[in-house]
A and B are shown apart, each in its own frame.
Chain A
Amino acid sequence: MERKKVTSSNIDSIGYDEETNTLEIQFLNGSIYQYFDVPFAVYDELMGADSHGQYLAQHIKGKYRYVKV
């Protein structure tokens, strides 16, 4: 999945697949996670948020299931 580079204190890049509603996050430490069944709107808001890290912590972590790839 192609990920876009973002400026953040913890996230390196973010990608999204509309077909499968899969959100992919790469952290600055190199680890990559896929969050499943994340609506497009949430991805959109994540990309638009002032602090991607904060949005991720408040609206995605603990809400959607994920797998470390």
Chain B
Amino acid sequence: MQNKSTYLGTIQDVTGTTVSVTLANESLSGLTYVDGEGYRIGQIGSFVKIPIGYIDLFGIVTQVGASAVPEKQVMNQPYGNRWLTIQLIGEGQRTGKFERGISQYPTIGDEVHLVSETDLRRIYGQPNKPHFVKVGHIAGAESISALIDVNKLVTRHSAVVGTTGSGKSTTVAGILSALSDSKNYPSARIIILDIHGEYGQAFRGRANIFKVNADKKSGENELYLPFWALNFDELSQISFGLLGIEKEKERSALIEKVLAQKEKTLLKYAKKGVTKETLNVDSPIPFSLNQLWFDLWNETFYTFYADKGKKPTKENWAYEKDSDGKDIIGDALSATSPRFKPVKNVKEDDEKIQYGTSTLNIRGQLETLGSKLRIPRYNFLFHPGKYTPELDGKVTNDLDSLLKEWIGSQKPITILDLSGVPIDILNTIVGVLLRVLYEGLFWSRRLSQGGRHRPLLVVMEEAHNYLNDNFKGIASNVVQRIVKEGRKYGICAMIVSQRPSEINSTILSQCGTFFAMRLANATDRGHISAALPDNLDGLTNMLPILRTGEAIIVGEAVKLPMRTIIEAPPKDRRPDSQDPIVYGEESEENSQLTGGWGIPMETNPNFEEFLEVWRAQNPFPSRVFTKEKGVIKSKSKFKKK
């Protein structure tokens, strides 16, 4: 028999997985000692144990006191309302193995015991198996590590949810730094979609950072997403805008054009894996979008000299003349459009100019695309460095080197910093990034670098921004595919959000493991309770009162739901998302604060740098001292005024 001091009470009622228990008279004091350690009786969320024969059933306390009393019993309570309600969760063999689910029910009269630290250790404590990763320790039992099964965590997808300031980013950083530990996992593969550029700081040394308008000095790489890696729908959405049903004719014409351009490339530069016969409009084959745009522009806008009933041929197109008398024929490479004369049909004048014969109604779209091709903001997409196709489709680097940079480098983590991506196309870009990765890993599933043999964990920060139901965007679609089928091909999602209620519910319900941090909003909480893989009301009720940095981990990656204090990474390795401190608590000579409202204002604040960094979209002004700069300046004998 168990130690009598752990005895709590006796089962009176069993309904499904809910068990009602009367507390024993001996445990009236509310505090009991087991092996010299004090335990409070009847803490919501604490575990209890019901020994039956060779196994122990485990449950979690969800309710204590008056409302836990079965209705008919209310009248005859000798010791007041000393009842507990328990949710059963699993069973443990006497040998120490613990499993979810129960093979037999307890019955009336069975004893209920407190779970002591020794028991907890039996449940949670995994003897240093390398596929368990430590993310912190159990709340209330500092000596017991909170261990997570890496296999289940990665392949079954996970979600980290919590209000702003509940320690979400720090938790993610903590988990990822455990996962990217090269000692345990020398070829871990993690991609972070970093919407706010927070994670570079936390993982420097372990991560390659890709960013639009990268700061090469601080070791960032330029993020490129070649437009020709996009499928037709994505491409047309980004370049032409949505072409709906009413534009079916234009859509088909575009498909023809794109296909023709890709075919042209293939003829000249053969690509392994695709032939003229297997080529389709979605194949990732480089082609010149500039050329395509230029051709379309000409076809759509041209006018021609139609005197004496001439038919339009390229020779009689009616170009405007520039000041030197030359035709303004435009230029594909620089996306300069040609200019055509307006139509003219005057009786006395022999010169007749007519509109071309194009029936495509895409004038507006062509204007937009032209400007997108010209402005630098879209360069990461339309002029992606070495991935930019020349007019005949030749590229210096093919997609393999892009994928190698992203998922084949020596560093375990790749951060795709999307803070410079125009917000109107963020959703599409995230979708495209993920689809490219998904398709790549899907088709390479038999290769050693494929997803099945080296799974990829994709961390989606601020997921409510692009996995929203309201968006008809492609991100949500791709992620749905990833969470439903990605498991099989080794592409796995970790979804991080402060607004779980805004995330598409299919996506959330497919997540096997939840790290639920403090969450006060009732809608969000409801959404989470509905999506949780374990049916534990008691646990979700605790969400509003969790401390910062504390999480309830529920789901496949853990044996039992655990309330965990997440082990934060060292201070200089935390994401850049801490709250600013308005007024420091320390005295001025001890303060490590440099700003805040408590320190006098600079007499002549420099807002030129303020503007410079905004314009440069880079938080460091050029004035900042770096090693290279120091060297250059000393070489050029630069003297200060």
Binding site for B on A (CB under 8 A): 1, 9-10, 17, 19-22, 24, 27-31, 33-34, 36, 51, 53-54, 56-58, 61-69
| B246: interface (CB < 8 Å) | no
Residues of A within 8 A of B594 (CB): 33, 61, 66, 68
| B623: interface (CB < 8 Å) | yes
Evaluate contact between A30 and B572: CB separation under 8 angstroms. Answer: yes
**Interface residues of B, count at CB 8 A:** 30
Evaluate contact between B599 and A36: CB separation under 8 angstroms. Answer: no
Which residues of B584-641 have CB atoms within 8 Å of chain A's CB atoms? Answer: 586, 588-592, 594, 599-603, 605-606, 609, 620-621, 623-625, 627, 629-630, 633-634, 638, 640
Given the known interface contacts A1-B630, A29-B572, A30-B571, the answer about A22 and B590 at a Cβ–Cβ threshold of 8 Å is no
Evaluate contact between A36 and B623: CB separation under 8 angstroms. Answer: yes
Give me the 9 closest cross-chain CB pairs, A-B, nearest first.
A30-B572, A62-B600, A53-B589, A57-B588, A54-B589, A27-B592, A22-B625, A62-B599, A9-B590
Some 18 contacts from A to B, beta carbons below 8 A apart, are: A1-B627, A10-B592, A19-B634, A20-B625, A28-B592, A30-B572, A33-B594, A34-B625, A36-B623, A51-B589, A53-B588, A53-B591, A56-B589, A57-B588, A57-B589, A62-B601, A63-B602, A67-B609
> A63 contacts which of B570, B603, B620, B621 (Cβ < 8 Å)?
B603
Give the distance in Å from the alpha carbon of A64 to the alpha carbon of B606 in the complex.
Answer: 10
Residues of A within 8 A of B600 (CB): 61-63
| Residue in chain B with minimal CB distance to A17 | B625
Give the distance in Å from the alpha carbon of A61 to the alpha carbon of B591 in the complex.
Answer: 11
Evaluate contact between A67 and B621: CB separation under 8 angstroms. Answer: yes
Evaluate contact between B589 and A19: CB separation under 8 angstroms. Answer: no
Evaluate contact between B590 and A53: CB separation under 8 angstroms. Answer: yes
Give the distance in Å from the alpha carbon of A13 to the alpha carbon of B260 in the complex.
Answer: 63
Binding site for A on B (CB under 8 A): 570-572, 586, 588-592, 594, 599-603, 605-606, 609, 620-621, 623-625, 627, 629-630, 633-634, 638, 640
Given the known interface contacts A17-B625, A61-B599, the answer about A31 and B592 at a Cβ–Cβ threshold of 8 Å is yes
Evaluate contact between B602 and A69: CB separation under 8 angstroms. Answer: no
Residues of B within 8 A of A54 (CB): 588-589
Give the secondary structure class of A's interface. Answer: loop
Give the distance in Å from the alpha carbon of A69 to the alpha carbon of B588 in the complex.
Answer: 22
Give the distance in Å from the alpha carbon of A22 to the alpha carbon of B640 in the complex.
Answer: 12
Evaluate contact between B630 and A10: CB separation under 8 angstroms. Answer: no
Residues of B within 8 A of A27 (CB): 592
Give the distance in Å from the alpha carbon of A27 to the alpha carbon of B595 in the complex.
Answer: 13
Give the distance in Å from the alpha carbon of A22 to the alpha carbon of B633 in the complex.
Answer: 13
Give the distance in Å from the alpha carbon of A43 to the alpha carbon of B500 in the complex.
Answer: 50
> A62 contacts which of B602, B609, B625, B633 (Cβ < 8 Å)?
B602
A-B contacts besides A1-B625, A61-B588, A67-B624, 20 pairs, CB < 8 Å: A17-B625, A19-B630, A19-B633, A20-B629, A20-B633, A24-B625, A27-B592, A29-B571, A30-B572, A31-B592, A34-B624, A51-B589, A57-B588, A57-B599, A58-B588, A62-B602, A65-B606, A67-B620, A67-B623, A68-B594
Give the distance in Å from the alpha carbon of A2 to the alpha carbon of B514 in the complex.
Answer: 44
Residues of B within 8 A of A61 (CB): 588, 594, 599-600
Evaluate contact between B620 and A64: CB separation under 8 angstroms. Answer: no
| Residue in chain B with minimal CB distance to A68 | B594
Evaluate contact between A10 and B589: CB separation under 8 angstroms. Answer: yes
Interface centre among B571, B594, B630, B638 (most CB of A within 10 A): B594
Evaluate contact between A20 and B630: CB separation under 8 angstroms. Answer: yes
Give the distance in Å from the alpha carbon of A25 to the alpha carbon of B552 in the complex.
Answer: 39
What is the minimal beta-carbon distance from B637 to any residue of chain A, in angstroms? Answer: 10
